[in-house]
Amino acid sequence: MIRDLSYRLMAGVILVCLVGLGEPVSAHAILLKSTPATDSTVDGPDIDVNLSFNVRIDHGRSRLILVLPNGKSVILKILEESRPDSLSARATGLTPGAYVLRWQVLANDGHITGGVIPFRVNNP
């Protein structure tokens, strides 16, 4: 009887530890989908930029930077109507060539994540 109770208690402690350990990892911002997509070719000269994440992000502390074919960088203004788990912007006046979208977001767990999305622009 006592032995049975101690096994149950130990199993409960292990379960609580496992559940507690899994939670912080799930809160990091992971990019789920982007427009433009990585290595895609889009028609310009104006494009919509949309990035969707797995968690809510802090729009005020997030950044979208567009690296132009000549190597110069332009900060894109994040649209206010972006959903809590996404960033949206509009890039205008793009000429044909290779671009890189650099993103950085602050997730609700306090961690900053970032990445790059290379793509090409064609003008019809």
Q: Which domains does the chain have, with CATH numbers?
A: 29-122 (2.60.40.1220)
The tokens describing 66, both together, are 């567009």
How many angstroms separate the CA atoms of 113 and 102, rounded? 11
**Could you report the per-residue pLDDT of 97-122, keeping only the tens digit for each?**
999 999 999 998 889 999 999 999 99
Give the three-state DSSP class for 44: coil
pLDDT for position 58: 92
How many angstroms separate the CA atoms of 92 and 49, rounded? 11
pLDDT for position 16: 41
Q: Which pTM was predicted?
A: 0.76
pLDDT for position 3: 54
Residue carrying the six token digits 């989908």: 33
